Every structure is written in structure tokens, then in C-alpha cells.
């Protein structure tokens, strides 16, 4: 019976070969000189539930039939010279035929590249290029030893039903028949009449801790088919090893052993009879088993007629017989019951258990396509703990999840290549003790081993050459994934490819991913942020259900920049930015702002969105609104919010308007990580502004005016007034600076106001230093030294420059307050300040006019006799022509009598 299906396959092969050669292009015909022509073998399943039969047609083509496979990323036909890890991974694509779908019992012909011959291929594989992953393969020479990365070699002579052509044995996943028991459970079998046994394969997309049971019932019909049934229970031990045991059912209960040693329930045959040392009771023989892609597969053999007449039922190969099956959890061994026992299956009939009538001689194949488990990850999962380091070591490859692989792979906490799960914002500690030849690093590249050596690019998140150590001297590596870390990265060795495996990066509490968070007005929206060097990462989460959430930067909806996250009609999330210049739908305009690392999540109507943007957007076109959307971390950021039931990116209407909004802005202090409610003006900043106005608007200008226009007063009164006013103004300036630094919790030079202010303060502080270095004033009749002359010019220029820059700082400060606080009052303050300085300018013009008249009167006098050298005094203007005349008089060295005419009225 086993050969029937092979006969059908061979006839189909001959027919398709006839069609192939009949319609082939004569110019593309191939020779048949290779010794491999006619070779036929089953594929060895490695991943993606791959099954099939390969037949070599001629020197340049082969046929694949009964082909099953779950789809991959970029799957190709792959050839290698030898099956060891190095040769396998350095193999080559042998055909332009791509395997891009899920295949269900498919048949097709594959043509080799012109430069590929069969003598260059010892291993033919179905290969996924992005992951360098072997889905299944055929080894043409059974003399080659398999590497640890390949699946076990096909069955030996004791387990195979029949040898295939060229001495290659069939892979243990292929059978003559397949019957669908439920959506996720199948039975496959092949009957050997000659040898009087049947080989059965149980296959289910079920949990790794679940059993698969199948067997024959005593009756054809009835409600209690399980009682007296002879079943095989299969599964996997806690170490991942397959097992298949012969069970007998006496009643509907788990296996129980009474005090007198009597067993009852669903128990192994050996429990009823004691130790079965000669194999007379346990007649179920394990052939093969694997756990791949979330699917359990166990192959076992049992005789059609057993020598055990008490607990085994004879199988009539020509009769319709009732069979039962079940899926459920297993109980692992303990001190009282040292064997794996099935628990009550529970669940629904024909989902978790069932029965049917089966004739094993009939040809059946209703299993179309591979089983596709929802959860394909069978590897151990380790969840990182911030307080407990992960022990990284190296060990032999046994169940590496991405074959082929080297013989030595990475272990974490003594588990072979587990999936590691970490949370963003939570540090992960590694204690690396895998040897000096293993340097751990976290990379974006699946294969590792330094991608640059393969001319590939990768992003390294942590680790490197220095992250190596041994048990006696481990190396500690700390890595903190952030919100920009991809959802999946890999831990690998820098010196060897494919030693590690996946890291799942998940969002824990969103607060862990951001350095700061505040609750905005009315406690409806939470605002999160993390400042970078030139960017800021922002998140917003609504605290109640909504269709969209919007946050805006500004004191109100009008003239603000908004960021909106919403769910569309097909439940897809979106995040976009807008400029709002009015209070209706037509005033909301999309922008071209560059948002990166955008994420959106909606859970039960609670919306959270995230993005990263530059602090100062790159302005591509002058005049675009987003050019003005600058975030200054040193200044408070006014944030408002709105939520509603519906948003549309294309056609906004009044329906898109908010259903709930913040009542007032909240000023977020980005550098301090806090927020405060909107006020007219923060008191400390108000005091800072008043002190600066008092200093730069009154005291310092008046001190300069005293030195300019009061020198004609007898004595040194002008000098005392000048000094007292200047020192008072400078003291108030420094005190106001201290208030501002204390309020902002830092000293940040970023805004124009701060730059103007610091420049003015520097120039003002330079004046007392300059005054202390003043050269001695020349006595009457002495020539003014060059040092004195330079000092006088420097003192005047620096003082007047400080005043001009200080006034600019006052205006820029009011402008910054107006931009950040949005109050129209600040425009009035700027106007008032401008009026004040205009009045001051008029006063200076009037005083300058009076001073010039006074000096002219002194030069010519009113019927006065002027005798001798004119005394040198600081009231002389360095910039007037009379200075040169006076100098000439001093240089003459002669006593002169100047006669001045009397002015006549």
C-alpha cells in the first residue's frame, strides 16, 4: 500500500515531464548526462512547515510536487557545496524562481541558472535571503555529516518504511495519507502491509505543553467510545524531547493509583502491568518528533496486530474502525507519578476532542496546505528585569531557532538563544561571561558578526569589542532602549554570525520612555517629553475615550500650531501637524513639518500618539508657517489640548471641531520638567523686568547724563552722582540676572534676549574695571597723554554701547514675553517703553543744545578777560573742535592775554 502513492507521483512526473519537453523551447533543451537525473527525495522540514518531493528531470531542471510551505520574506532556491555552517551560509542562488507565497500541495518545475550544474550542488535548500534561514533541504550525498544547524538526518533503516532511489531515505515528515481531525489537528499515516505495521504522524498547532492523543475504540458506535480505547499519547518533555507512549483507558478520569497499586483512568499500559522491560506492553515506538513554527509533530509506529491482547486493540487494515482523538494539557512527572499524563481535554467537541470512522487502507489526503499557528514563537522568553543582570554565556546549539547556525551559540540565563523582551526606558544589565572570543552587542542586523564585513549596514545600540568576559571576570553591559529603538533588534556576537537571537522592544508604561510628563489643564490630557540636543520627543495621551486628540502650542486656538492624532474609518491611526489661524474649520491648515518616529496607539478608545521634531524646524520655503514653529527649551511652552469624536485629514468641517477643550493654557517648563497654570506674568520674571527697566531705563542713562552735562557745576558733585548711579544700576542689573537664573533653574544662552542681556551686562561690568585703570589727569598746562586720551574714548564708547545694547535687551525681552505668554498687554508695554526712551532722547537733545551754548559762551565770554592756560577738566568734549585750539595754547608755553569783545545788546 505504501507504494501506491509513489506510483501515482511517478506517473504524474512522467506526464508532466512529457508536457515539459513537448513545449520547451528547443534552444533551452537540456542534456541528461548527470548521474543525478531521475534522483527523487523528500525534503527535510526545517522551518515554515515545508514538505515536498523533489525529482531531478535533467541537467538543468527539477520538479517539485506535493509542496507545502508557509510564506517567507524573500525565499529562493539555494545551493551549497557542503552542509556545514560556513559553506551553507556562503552558498548561492541557483534559479530565478522565487517562492513568494504560501504553497498548498503545489507542483511546479524549476530551471537552474545556465552556469549552475548538479555537480556544484551537494545541498539544495529553500532559503530565505533576509534572514539567511534554511526552511528545508535535501542532501544529495548521504556521506556528508550534517552540521548542528541542520535538521536531523532522515530516518535510518530501522525506522524507514522503504529506501528511496540512490540510497536516500524519505524524510520522516512525509506520509501517504493525511486526514484532517479539526482545524488545527491532523493525522498522517503510511501503511506497510509487508511488515504488518502502521506509522502515524500526529500534527497540531497547539501549545508546547499540550499532548496529542489518537487511538482505536472497542466499539464502532456508542456514547462511551473512550472506555476501553487503545490510544497513543504524544508530546514533548520539559527538555523539548518528543515522546510517544501506549495508553489504555478504563474510565473518564486522570490516571490514579490506589493504595493497593491498582491503576485506573487514562494510564500508560506499563502502569497497569509494571515495568515493561521486554516491550510486550508498550508497543508504541517513537520514530521522530519536532516542534516548529508553533506546530507539534510526532511520528510513531505501532503493529497492526499486537502481542499484547489485553491493552492493545488489533487494527483491521481493510475495515472501517472507530478512532478517537484529543488535545489538552499534560501533567509533568512528579515523585508519585514519574511519567507525563494527559489532563482532561475540555473544550468543544471536534475542536479539542472527537471521533470518526477510519479505514487505513483507503487513500485520503484532505490536508490542503501547511498548518499555520497563530503563535509561531516556541523559544524560551526572558523578560528583562532592571534590577537583575542577565547572564550571557555560550553553549552548544541544540534547538537554535534560525538554522543553519554555528556549533556554539549564546545562552541567556542558561537558556539557548531565548527571545529577550525589554521595555523602553528601563535599563537592561548584561553580565557577559561567554569567553574572550564572544563580544556581545545589540544590533539591527539579524545575523550579527559585524555587518560591515558583509558590506551591509547596521545600527549598534550597545556593546562592541569591549563587551567580552569570562566567568571569573565578567563584563557588565548596561543598555537602556528608548522610544526611538525599533520594536525588534538582536543580541549577537561581534565575531561570529548567528549566535544570538531576537530582542522584543515593547512599550511599558509610557512614562518610562520619557524623562518628563505633566497633566494639562482639567486633567484630561497628559503631556510627555524628552529633550535632545537639537530635537524634542513628545507624546500626548487622552485620559478618556475619543476619536481624536490634539495638542497645540500657543495661548489659544488662534495663531497656534497643533498636532492631531486620530483614527480613521478603517481603524488606522494617523498623526499630522497643522497651523491654525482662526476659529473655524477653514482656518486649520496642514503643514509640511518634519515629524519622525511617529507612533499611534488606540486602546479601548484611549488615544496615545508620539513623535519627534527638531527644536528649530528646517525652513525650506521662507514664509511657511512651520518656519516660525520654534521651541525654545529655556522659555515656557504654552500647551493647550482638544478632543473630539471625529477627524478627517482631507475635508475638515464643523463636525471635526472639538467636543472638549482645555480652559486655559498650561506653561510647560521644558528644562525643569514641570508645568504651571497660565498667569498674566510670573512674579519673579515681573521683578526681573522691573529691575532691568529701572537700571537700563533710569539709573544708568542718568549716570551717563550726569557725566556729560553736570561738569560745569563747581566741585566734584557730578562725579559722585555719576559713580553712585552707575554702581546702583549695575548692582540692580546683577540682582535681576540672579532672579532670572534662579527662576529658570539654569543659565542658558539661546534666545536673542539672553544674548543681548549678557552682552550689555558684560559691557557694564567692564566699566568699573576700566575706571580703576584710568590714567592720571594732566595738570594745568600739561599735555594730555595718549593713554589718557585712549582711556577717555574707550570709557565713553563702552558706556554708551552698554546702554544701547541694554535698551535692545529690554525690547527683546518684552517681545519674548509677548510670544510666549500671548498677552496683548505686552504690546502696550513695548509702546510705553518706546515712548519713554523717545522722551529721554528729546531730553538729551535739549541738554546737548544747552551744553553747546554753554561751551560757546565759555569760549568767547561776555566782556571777560581770560588769562593763562585754560585748566584741563573732564568737562571738555573730546569730540568738539575747541579741544584742538586749547591744546595749541598749552603747547605754546606762553602767557597770553585774550581780549574778547563785549557783546552788545
Tens digits of residue pLDDT in 308-323: 888 899 999 999 999 9
Residue 29 has pLDDT above 90, yes or no: no
Most confident of 653-662, 672-681, 788-797, 868-877: 788-797
Hey, how many other C-beta atoms are within 10 angstroms of the C-beta on 11? 10
The CATH number corresponding to 39-139 among 2.60.40, 1.20.140, 1.10.3470, 1.10.1060 equals 2.60.40
Which residue has cell 486602546?
603
Question: Is the model more confident about 534 or about 717?
Answer: 534
Question: Is the model more confident about 119 or about 710?
Answer: 119
The ranges assigned to domains in the chain are: 39-139, 177-358, 388-507, 513-677, 683-774+786-844
Cis preceding linkage at 404, omega within 30 = yes
CA distances from 615 to 532, 593, 621, 672 (A): 9, 11, 17, 17
Residue 332 has pLDDT above 50, yes or no: yes
Residue 803 has pLDDT above 70, yes or no: yes
Write the DSSP assignment of 800-817 as a string of letters.
HHHHHHHHHHHHHHHHHH
pLDDT score for 875: 42
Most confident of 20-29, 415-424, 666-675: 415-424
Tens digits of residue pLDDT in 248-276: 998 888 888 888 878 889 999 888 887 65
Tens digits of residue pLDDT in 356-407: 999 999 999 999 899 999 888 777 889 898 788 999 999 999 889 999 999 9
Beta bridge partners of 296: 204, 291
- When pLDDT is cut at 50, 70 and 90, the band that residue 679 belongs to is low
CATH of span 683-774+786-844 = 1.20.120.1770
pLDDT score for 846: 83
Provide, rounded to the nearest whole percent, the portion of the chain with pLDDT above 90.
Answer: 38
Is 0.75 topped by the overall pTM? no
Hey, how many other C-beta atoms are within 10 angstroms of the C-beta on 242? 19
- When pLDDT is cut at 50, 70 and 90, the band that residue 689 belongs to is confident
| Assigned superfamily of 177-358 | Cellobiose dehydrogenase, cytochrome domain (2.60.40.1210)
CA distance 833 to 693: 9
* DSSP conformational letter for 707: H
Is 513-677 in CATH node 2.60.40?
Answer: yes
CA distance 416 to 379: 8
Residue 240 has pLDDT above 50, yes or no: yes
CA distance 58 to 56: 6
Whether 249 and 265 have beta carbons less than 8 Å apart is answered as yes
Q: Do domains 177-358 and 388-507 have the same CATH topology?
A: yes
Burial tier of 266 (Cβ tally within 10 Å: 0-12, 13-18, 19+) = buried
pLDDT score for 486: 92
CATH of span 388-507 = 2.60.40
CA distances from 840 to 345, 733, 834, 847 (A): 96, 20, 10, 10
Whether 441 and 492 have beta carbons less than 8 Å apart is answered as yes
pLDDT score for 25: 43
Beta bridge partners of 191: 198
Q: Which residues contact 19 (CB under 8 A, 6 or more apart)?
A: none
pLDDT score for 655: 56
Whether 754 and 634 have beta carbons less than 8 Å apart is answered as yes
CA distance 450 to 42: 36
Question: Is the model more confident about 825 or about 576?
Answer: 576
Tens digits of residue pLDDT in 617-665: 887 777 777 788 889 888 888 888 888 887 877 666 655 566 678 877 8
In angstroms, how far is the first alpha carbon of the chain from the final one?
Answer: 148
Amino acid at each position: 500500500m505504501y507504494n501506491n502513492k509513489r506510483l501515482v507521483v511517478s506517473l504524474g512526473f512522467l506526464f508532466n515531464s512529457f508536457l515539459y519537453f513537448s513545449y520547451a523551447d528547443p534552444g533551452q533543451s537540456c542534456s541528461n548526462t548527470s548521474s543525478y537525473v531521475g534522483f527523487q527525495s523528500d525534503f527535510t522540514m526545517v522551518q515554515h512547515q515545508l514538505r515536498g518531493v523533489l525529482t531531478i528531470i535533467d541537467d538543468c531542471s527539477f520538479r517539485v510536487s506535493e509542496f507545502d510551505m508557509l510564506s517567507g520574506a524573500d525565499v529562493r532556491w539555494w545551493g551549497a557545496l557542503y552542509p556545514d555552517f560556513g559553506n551553507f551560509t556562503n552558498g548561492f542562488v541557483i534559479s530565478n524562481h522565487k517562492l513568494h507565497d504560501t504553497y498548498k500541495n503545489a507542483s511546479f518545475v524549476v530551471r537552474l541558472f545556465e552556469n549552475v550544474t548538479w555537480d556544484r550542488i551537494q545541498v539544495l535548500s529553500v532559503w530565505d535571503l533576509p534572514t539567511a534561514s534554511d526552511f528545508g533541504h535535501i542532501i544529495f550525498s548521504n556521506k556528508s555529516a550534517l552540521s548542528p544547524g541542520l535538521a536531523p538526518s532522515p530516518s535510518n533503516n530501522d525506522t524507514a518504511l522503504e529506501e528511496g532511489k540512490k540510497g536516500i531515505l524519505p524524510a520522516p515528515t512525509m506520509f501517504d495519507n493525511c486526514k484532517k481531525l479539526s482545524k488545527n489537528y491532523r493525522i498522517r499515516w503510511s501503511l506497510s502491509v509487508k511488515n504488518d505495521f502502521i506509522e502515524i504522524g500526529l500534527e497540531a498547532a497547539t501549545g508546547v505543553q499540550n499532548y496529542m492523543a489518537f487511538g482505536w475504540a472497542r466499539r464502532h458506535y456508542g456514547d462511551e467510545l473512550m472506555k476501553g480505547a487503545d490510544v497513543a499519547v504524544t508530546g514533548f518533555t520539559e527538555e523539548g524531547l518528543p515522546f510517544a507512549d501506549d495508553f489504555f483507558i478504563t474510565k473518564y478520569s486522570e490516571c490514579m493509583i490506589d493504595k493497593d497499586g491498582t491503576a485506573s483512568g487514562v494510564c500508560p499500559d506499563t502502569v497497569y502491568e509494571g515495568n515493561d522491560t521486554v516491550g510486550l506492553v508498550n508497543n508504541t515506538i517513537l520514530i521522530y518528533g519536532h516542534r516548529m513554527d508553533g506546530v507539534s509533530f510526532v511520528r510513531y509506529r505501532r503493529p497492526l496486530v499486537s502481542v499484547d491482547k489485553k491493552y492493545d486493540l488489533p487494527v483491521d487494515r481493510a475495515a472501517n474502525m472507530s478512532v478517537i482523538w484529543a488535545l489538552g494539557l499534560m501533567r509533568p512527572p512528579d515523585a508519585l507519578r514519574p511519567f507525563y499524563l494527559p489532563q482532561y481535554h475540555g473544550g468543544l467537541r471536534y475542536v479539542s476532542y472527537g471521533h470518526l470512522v477510519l479505514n487505513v487502507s483507503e487513500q485520503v489526503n484532505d490536508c490542503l496546505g501547511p498548518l499555520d499557528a497563530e503563535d509561531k514563537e516556541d523559544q524560551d522568553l526572558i523578560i528583562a528585569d532592571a534590577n537583575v543582570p542577565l547572564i550571557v554565556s555560550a553553549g552548544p546549539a541544540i534547538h537554535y531557532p534560525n538554522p543553519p547556525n554555528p556549533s556554539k551559540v549564546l545562552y541567556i540565563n542558561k537558556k539557548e538563544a531565548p527571545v529577550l523582551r525589554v521595555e523602553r526606558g528601563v535599563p537592561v544589565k548584561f553580565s557577559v561571561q561567554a569567553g574572550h572570543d564572544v563580544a556581545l552587542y545589540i544590533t539591527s542586523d539579524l545575523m550579527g558578526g559585524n555587518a560591515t564585513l558583509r558590506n551591509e549596514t547596521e545600527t549598534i545600540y550597545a556593546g562592541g569589542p569591549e563587551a567580552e568576559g569570562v566567568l571569573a571576570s565578567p563584563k557588565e553591559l548596561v543598555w537602556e532602549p528608548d522610544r526611538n529603538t525599533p520594536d525588534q533588534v538582536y543580541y549577537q556576537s561581534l565575531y561570529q554570525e548567528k549566535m544570538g537571537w531576537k530582542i522584543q522592544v515593547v512599550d511599558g508604561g509610557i512614562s518610562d520612555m520619557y524623562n518628563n510628563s505633566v497633566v494639562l489643564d482639567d486633567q484630561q490630557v497628559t503631556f510627555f517629553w524628552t529633550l535632545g540636543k537639537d530635537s524634542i520627543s513628545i507624546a500626548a495621551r487622552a485620559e478618556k475615550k475619543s476619536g481624536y486628540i490634539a495638542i497645540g502650542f500657543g495661548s489659544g486656538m488662534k495663531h497656534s500650531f497643533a498636532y492631531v492624532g486620530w483614527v480613521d474609518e478603517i481603524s488606522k491611526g494617523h498623526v499630522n501637524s497643522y497651523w491654525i489661524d482662526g476659529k473655524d474649520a477653514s482656518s486649520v491648515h496642514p503643514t509640511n513639518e518634519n515629524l519622525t518616529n511617529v507612533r499611534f496607539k488606540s486602546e479601548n478608545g484611549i488615544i496615545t500618539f508620539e513623535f519627534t521634531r527638531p527644536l528649530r524646524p528646517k525652513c525650506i520655503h521662507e514664509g511657511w508657517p512651520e518656519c516660525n514653529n520654534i521651541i525654545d527649551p529655556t522659555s515656557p511652552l504654552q500647551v493647550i489640548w482638544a478632543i473630539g469624536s471625529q477627524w478627517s485629514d482631507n475635508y475638515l468641517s464643523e463636525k471635526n471641531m472639538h467636543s472638549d477643550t482645555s480652559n486655559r493654557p498650561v506653561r510647560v517648563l521644558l528644562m525643569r520638567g514641570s508645568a504651571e497654570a497660565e498667569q498674566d506674568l510670573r512674579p519673579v520674571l515681573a521683578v526681573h523686568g522691573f529691575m532691568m527697566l529701572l537700571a537700563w531705563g533710569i539709573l544708568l542713562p542718568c549716570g551717563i547724563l550726569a557725566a556729560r552735562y553736570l561738569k560745569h557745576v563747581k566741585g566734584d558733585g557730578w562725579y559722585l552722582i555719576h559713580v553712585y548711579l552707575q554702581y546702583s544700576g549695575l548692582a540692580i542689573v546683577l540682582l535681576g540676572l540672579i532672579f532670572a537664573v534662579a527662576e529658570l533653574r539654569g543659565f542658558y544662552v539661546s534666545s536673542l534676549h539672553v544674548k543681548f542681556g549678557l552682552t550689555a551686562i558684560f559691557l557694564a561690568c567692564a566699566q568699573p574695571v576700566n575706571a580703576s585703570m584710568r590714567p592720571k589727569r594732566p595738570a594745568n598746562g600739561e599735555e594730555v597723554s595718549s593713554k589718557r586720551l585712549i582711556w577717555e574714548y574707550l570709557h565713553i564708547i563702552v558706556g554708551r554701547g552698554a546702554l544701547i545694547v541694554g535698551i535692545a535687551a529690554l525690547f527683546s525681552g518684552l517681545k519674548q514675553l509677548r510670544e510666549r505668554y500671548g498677552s496683548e498687554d505686552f504690546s502696550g508695554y513695548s509702546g510705553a517703553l518706546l515712548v519713554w526712551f523717545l522722551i529721554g532722547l528729546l531730553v538729551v537733545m535739549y541738554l546737548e543744545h544747552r551744553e553747546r551754548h554753554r561751551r560757546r559762551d565759555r569760549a568767547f565770554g561776555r566782556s571777560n578777560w581770560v588769562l593763562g592756560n585754560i585748566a584741563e577738566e573732564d568737562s571738555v568734549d573730546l569730540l568738539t573742535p575747541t579741544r584742538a585750539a586749547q591744546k595749541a595754547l598749552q603747547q605754546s608755553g606762553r602767557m597770553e592775554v585774550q581780549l574778547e569783545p563785549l557783546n552788545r545788546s
